[in-house]
Structure 1
Amino acid sequence: MADVNEAAAAVGWADIPTTTLADVLGRAQVMDIGIRPLWQPVPRVAGPAFTVRCPPGDNLMLHAAIHRAEPGTVIVVESGDLDYALAGGNVCAVAQRRGVAAFVADGLIRDLAEVRAMGFPVFARGVIPIPGGKRAVEPLNVEVRCGGVSVNAGDIVVADEEGVVVVPFARRDEVMAAARAKSAKEAGESLDAWERTHRTRIDKILRDQGFEG
């Protein structure tokens, strides 16, 4: 767990698109295509990760986490299977009431209509109607793997309709500065200027590869 105030460290991240962060961080910090918003249109959410590991068929620790995660956190779940739901409508409602920003789960939920109606952001692999059991105790806030990305407690998680990006806590200042600089540059560039630069770059690549046409 990071030593500084994580909620404060997460301020401003919801203003940055995941596309910009992906350009800055590269593929390794972007969760795979299977981790997607389960309802649309979903708002962009951002917050420090509260990490949970659930073994196959069990969801005990996610249910424990909703009572322990601080407001503003994104609960990130490593799941052991795609056969049982990690959470349903009541779990999402309690998490929302306690100020949790979102769930990002390498697994499934249920009661999607309820979750959609309450407007609680869930990024996961899908839905299934059968719940998991509640037996396996695991430590909270340890390193987990979600969507192919390693996530540690306190890492900044940014999620929107484009996908989910994880900013390592130790790199937060560097990444924020680079993302803001990129956004400012793009905002100040007209489409005409972008098109000229783009065509010059593409044409050079084509010439270098021997393309004629």
Structure 2
Amino acid sequence: MNSSDLDSLISQFAELPTTCISDALAGLTNLDPAIKPLKKKWTVCGRAYPVRLRAADNLKLLQGIRDAQPGDVLIADAKGFLYNAVAGDFVIGLMKTLGLAGFVVDGAVRDVSGIKELDFPVFCRGATVAAGSKSGAGEAGVPISCAGVTVHPGDIVVGDVDGVVIVPADQAEEVLTKAREKLEKDREREEGILGNPDAARAYLDRVLGRA
């Protein structure tokens, strides 16, 4: 798949809710639901640039920021460690300055108010006051396991208020088609049932086996 085709797919995935994408993937590639955006309105969609970190260490995260391409989503396995942050508002500001699309981490950040002022989408497990260190342990630009899901460079990362889902690059077109079909079915069901008490009762009776 060439870069223009991938960019087109990413723009189309950005229009879909994570719930429909998750359903298209049978719920198998959702990050741990504890990974949420710092602001509920934030969404993210882009190519994955994965980084594996040692808990509380962020030197390889800085390498990832330097090596990732504009439009990439930096996604980091920080082992779910919450006492020390792997990034604060300055590091997040570097990501924004270099044109990254967002940051997803199975770990903690700090300087939450400053990050929110940057208006750069950050999805994390939590926030803390303690800084991390820079020993250099880890790897950048390699497949990782993040919050229970394998992530390869170039996979598509989609996140919204409900959580984060990973779309394997080799399944992207198929998943996009299925997710759109699910969204359309949901819309048709809502339009045909919600707001209509008789239709709502009939639907519940069918589900409950009373029809």
Instruction: Please tell me whether the aligned partners of residues 157 and 165 of structure 1 are also in contact (alpha carbons under 8 angstroms).
Output: yes
Deviates more, 1:8-17 or 1:118-127: 8-17
Task: Note the aligned Cα RMSD (angstroms).
Answer: 2.1
Q: Does residue 1:31 correspond to 2:36, yes or no?
A: no
Deviates more, 1:140-149 or 1:189-198: 189-198
Give the drift of 1:163.
0.6
Q: Does residue 1:82 correspond to 2:87, yes or no?
A: no
Q: Distance in 2 between matches of 1:119 and 1:153?
A: 25
Give the drift of 1:51.
0.1
Instruction: Please tell me whether the aligned partners of residues 22 and 28 of structure 2 are also in contact (alpha carbons under 8 angstroms).
Output: no
Q: Kindly provide the amino acid, as one letter, of the partner of residue 83 in structure 1.
A: Y
SS at structure 1 position matched to 2:139: coil
SS at structure 2 position matched to 1:179: helix
Matches within 5 A, 1:68-79: 68-79=67-78
Matches within 5 A, 1:188-203: 188-189=188-189, 190-192=191-193, 195=200, 198-203=203-208
Give the drift of 1:8.
4.5
Instruction: Please tell me whether the aligned partners of residues 54 and 79 of structure 1 are also in contact (alpha carbons under 8 angstroms).
Output: yes
Matches within 5 A, 1:38-53: 38-42=38-42, 44-53=43-52
Give the drift of 1:138.
3.0
- Which residues of structure 2 form unaligned runs of 5+? none
SS at structure 1 position matched to 2:140: coil
**Matched residues, number:** 203
SS at structure 2 position matched to 1:65: helix
Residues 19-72 of structure 1, C-alpha deviation per residue, up to 9 Å, x if partnerless? 111111122211112101122332x22111000011122111111111221111
Q: Distance in 2 between matches of 1:99 and 1:187?
A: 34
SS at structure 1 position matched to 2:145: strand
Aligned counterpart, 1:163: 163
Q: Distance in 2 between matches of 1:196 and 1:171?
A: 38
Give the drift of 1:135.
1.6
Residues 83-135 of structure 1, C-alpha deviation per residue, up to 9 Å, x if partnerless? 21101111111111211111110000111100001111111011112211112
Q: Distance in 2 between matches of 1:25 and 1:55?
A: 29
Q: Distance in 1 between matches of 2:17 and 2:9?
A: 17
Q: Using structure 1 for the length normalisation, give the TM-score.
A: 0.87
- Which residues of structure 1 form unaligned runs of 5+? 208-213
Q: Does residue 1:117 correspond to 2:117, yes or no?
A: yes
Aligned counterpart, 1:145: 145
Q: Distance in 2 between matches of 1:185 and 1:202?
A: 16
Instruction: Please tell me whether the aligned partners of residues 71 and 99 of structure 1 are also in contact (alpha carbons under 8 angstroms).
Output: yes
Residues 124-168 of structure 1, C-alpha deviation per residue, up to 9 Å, x if partnerless? 011112211112243322111222111111111100001111111
Aligned-residue sequence identity (percent) comes to 34
Deviates more, 1:77-86 or 1:4-13: 4-13
Structure 1 residues 196 and 72, CA gap change in structure 2 (3 angstroms): farther
Q: Kindly provide the amino acid, as one letter, of the partner of residue 36 in structure 2.
A: R
Moved over 4 A (4+): none
Q: Distance in 2 between matches of 1:4 and 1:97?
A: 26
Q: Kindly provide the amino acid, as one letter, of the partner of residue 57 in structure 1.
A: A
Structure 1 residues 46 and 197, CA gap change in structure 2 (3 angstroms): farther
Q: Distance in 1 between matches of 2:180 and 2:170?
A: 17
Residues 150-203 of structure 1, C-alpha deviation per residue, up to 9 Å, x if partnerless? 111111110000111111111100000111122223334424287367324422
